[in-house]
Amino acid sequence: FAINMDQLQLDEELGKGNYGTVKKVLHKPTNVAMAMKEIRLELEDSKLNAIIMELDVLHRAVAPEIVEFYGAFFIESCVYYCMEYMDAGSLDKLQAAGVPEDVLARIAACMVRGLKFLKDDLNIIHRDVKPTNVLVNKKGQVKLCDFGVSGELDKSLAKTNIGCQSYMAPERIRGESQNNLGTYTVSSDVWSLGLSMIEMGMGKYPYPPETYSNVFAQLTAIVHGDPPELPEAEYSETARDFVARCLKKEPSARATYKELLEHPFLIKDQTSDVDMVAWVEKAVAFKQAAAIIAAQATLPESV
């Protein structure tokens, strides 16, 4: 079925990214809660139509580790993209509660399976692996979203922003594989996976912008510095080795998805009885408490 705006009842805003806003919506004909992403693009209708058509392959991206795609449409110069609503949000906002090793292993297993499915079954390279693009629900499921399927959309979004948190692999920062979309290889996603795991393990992005005087210094650290590691005090040698295999500076030295799935860190996860539902519940409560404290801090003193 094709979705259109008339069928949607708009609810609260879920978040804002560099390119648009995500809102919770209700699809009235089916009574399904969805997340709708609005991306403003100053393009002519033929280009917008091409983007909608390219997004259509997302209907085939059906797997337990992939956020479901419901459809896309455009109005004026905005593309609207409807996907599965994930009621615990993205990992960047859940990691503050702490990510114990067994939870990190389950998240990594889901991410690797999702990325491998995209590559093997659909020949899609994600291109934007980072904690904001890993979504969680209260059932304890972990799913990937926002992977690059539309060359036209990528071209229209590009240039604008590299952001202050780069998950790009060193070879991409150096520009070796940026000359066209085709040369971006799957190993660049493996780097971003490793960096995302470090962020979850440390509770913060490992190259914090405040440490560097400018973006150039920060990117130089990624390209020329030693890769970050999981903290020794909190994670086992196995966990640390898994991440180290993702964060090799040389792309060809990085593990493949098959190798990562066979790594003792993920083998152990197969028989782990980690309670993801309990962890998500705790992390959501922590996030809500932090939001209340932040709101109070901004109230004028007289209140």
Binding residues for ligand ATP, rule: CB under 6 A, are 14-20, 22, 35, 37, 67, 83-86, 89-90, 132-133, 135, 145-146, 163
Q: In angstroms, what is the minimal distance from the CB of 147 to Mg ion?
A: 10
* Beta bridge mates, 21: 16, 38
Q: Which member of 11, 102, 128, 241 is catalytic?
A: 128
Distance, CA of 285 to CA of 292 (rounded, Å): 11
Q: Is 128 a catalytic residue?
A: yes
Nearer to ligand ATP, 184 or 242 (CB): 184
* Residue 144 and residue 115 in contact, taking contact as beta carbons nearer than 8 Å: yes
Q: Which does 71 bind (CB under 5 to 8 A by kind): Mg ion, ligand ATP, none?
A: none
Among 101, 126, 133, 141, binds Mg ion (CB under 5 A): 133
Q: In angstroms, what is the minimal distance from the CB of 273 to ligand ATP?
A: 27
Residues contacting residue 288 through CB under 8 Å, at least 6 positions apart: none
Q: In angstroms, what is the minimal distance from the CB of 24 to Mg ion?
A: 15
What is the amino acid identity at position 192? Answer: S
Among 65, 68, 146, 171, binds Mg ion (CB under 5 A): 146
Answer yes or no: is 23 a known binding residue.
Answer: no
Distance, CA of 269 to CA of 105 (rounded, Å): 6
What is the size of the binding site for Mg ion (CB under 5 A)? 3
Nearer to ligand ATP, 146 or 199 (CB): 146
Q: Which does 15 bind (CB under 5 to 8 A by kind): Mg ion, ligand ATP, none?
A: ligand ATP
Distance, CA of 181 to CA of 152 (rounded, Å): 11
Nearer to ligand ATP, 105 or 129 (CB): 129
Footprint of Mg ion (CB under 5 A) = 132-133, 146
Feature table: binding site for ATP: 37
